[in-house]
Amino acid sequence: MKYDVCIIGGGAAGLMAAIFAAQNGDRTAVIEKNTVVGRKLLKTGRGRCNLTHTGTIDDFVREYDFCGRFLKHGLHEFSPEAVRQFFAQRGLATKVEKDGCVFPLTDRAADVSRVLVDAARRNMVQFIYGRTVKSIEKQSDNTFILKTTSDQYECTAVILATGGASWPRTGSTGDGYRFAKAVGHTLIEPKAALAAVSTVETWPSRLQGVGIPKVRVSTVLEDKKIQTTGPLMFTDDGLGGPVIFDLSRAITDYLYESPQPLPIKLDLCPSRDFQQLETFILDGCAAHPKQEIARVVTDLLPRAAALYVVEQIQPAGHPVLAGQLPKESRRELIYFIKEMPLTIRAIRPLAEATITRGGVSLDEIEPTTMQSRLCAGLFFAGEVINADGPCGGYNLQIAWSTGALAGKSAALFCKPK
């Protein structure tokens, strides 16, 4: 079978690439190893699908840090606002939450997938399910042959949208790295990013499943202070939640390269400074003098977390009443709430991470087209490249922008010269 554009991978980037390639009139096919497309998309945002984030393009470039400059052209071509318009024009309105995250109004990732598949089908995209591409061969006439275990496909342009190596059960098993390497591309070692962390200390397991809505986490890495803020979750061997996911993105390279654990501090009450927190506790002690001090702390933290914090300042088996809390113990309590010390020993495995850090080197991809600088007619989109962002819809925006740009560029490449 012969096509103009073949897209390997039917995730967010691949679907958007297919739509933009096909709407330019090119015969387009999506080759997907699973029996359905968008499996990882359905899991994003806990099934709600955090489509993108609010902010200017310059804001996005700053958030993307090391890969922001590379992504800037794609963001201009298909901006966060354009993404919202894309879905709205196809009947799926979006909403903005307090933190700037953009979700479909229905809170259903399945609706996002449905819109993408419907748009692709209206543009006559052919979906080829249950086929794993084994090799990509470039012919003497500059066309490509894509071979699977059972058949082969010929095309003028190929878009690799195979994803990274995180969440492999969704189909992201790093296939694109092998294809890129076969034509000479440099691969940046894949690492876990946006992942939970394991700690040296074992006590977080006592609080497994306990969440705190807003925590500030800070550390110092190579004389640079790193700080993230957001929801925290205690896990069976450490910490998780968006605040830790964002931190993991900043420290993943260090933890992969260094055997030394990384000290961090948790501010469990970032909305109050030390003085304000002391005033709050003093007022609480005055209001509940005959109750245990844990009663006051539970107005700040979930009960399980409050009890653990209080344990650090009172003798075992000797509960301290709020009205009898010594000044020194009060200061220790405040310090522990504002600067709880922990030590990260490792980021959880790549297979558990939300996204992959690493992939095809950006130096070998043309940012204005997403075309390979080494192999004409080969394009990239999404997580297969060495680009990632923080929590909050930034990584799906990479998928949308690079997918749209690769699709348009591949379609243009197929036009008679």
* Residues 180-226 pLDDT 10s: 999 999 999 999 999 999 999 999 999 999 999 999 999 999 899 99
Regions in the chain scoring below 70 on pLDDT: 315-317, 417
Q: Could you tell me if 200 and 187 lie in one domain?
A: no
Q: Are residues 360 and 282 in the same domain?
A: no
Question: Are 271 and 147 part of one and the same domain?
Answer: no
Closest to 43 (Cα-Cα) out of 358, 403, 396, 381: 396
CA separation for the pair 385, 365 (Å, rounded): 9
Instruction: Provide the pLDDT for residue 45.
Output: 87
Q: Are 254 and 198 in contact (CB under 8 A)?
A: no
Check whether residue 42 and residue 141 sit in a common domain. Answer: yes
CA-to-CA distance for 400 and 397, rounded, in angstroms? 5
Looking at 290, 317, 347, the residue that finishes a domain is 347
| Residues 215, 325 share a domain | yes
Q: Please indicate, yes or no, whether residues 233 and 127 belong to a single structural domain of this protein.
A: no
Taking only Cα atoms into account, the Rg of the chain, rounded to an integer number of angstroms, comes to 25
What pLDDT was estimated at residue 316? Answer: 65
CATH number of residue 173's parent domain: 3.50.50.60
217 and 343 share one domain: yes
Mean pLDDT of all residues in the chain? Answer: 95
pLDDT (0 to 100) of residue 5: 98
Which tokens belong to 219?
A: 């550390």
Domain count, the chain: 2
Write the pLDDT tens digit of every residue in 313-366.
Answer: 886 667 889 999 999 999 999 999 999 999 999 999 999 999 999 999 999 999
Task: HSE, CB side, 13 Å, CA atoms: give it for residue 219.
Answer: 18
The domain boundary, picked from 302, 325, 347, lies at: 347
Residue written as tokens 């073949």? 6
The verdict on 200 and 149 lying in the same domain is no
pTM of the model: 0.94
DSSP-based three-state secondary structure for 103: strand
Give 391-416 as a DSSP string: TTTHHHHHHHHHHHHHHHHHHHHHS-
Please report the pLDDT score of residue 317 as a whole number: 64
- Whether residues 76 and 20 share a domain: the answer is yes
| Domain stop point among 347, 366, 398 | 347
HSE-CB at 7 with a 13 A cutoff on CA atoms is: 38
Determine the Cα–Cα distance for residues 48 and 37; give it in Å rounded to an integer.
Answer: 17
177 and 224 share one domain = no
Paired tokens of 148: 């699977």
Three-state DSSP state, 212:
strand
Q: Domain residues for 338?
A: 196-347
- Same structural domain for residues 124 and 85? yes
Residue with tokens 């691949």: 14
Q: Are residues 316 and 284 in the same domain?
A: yes
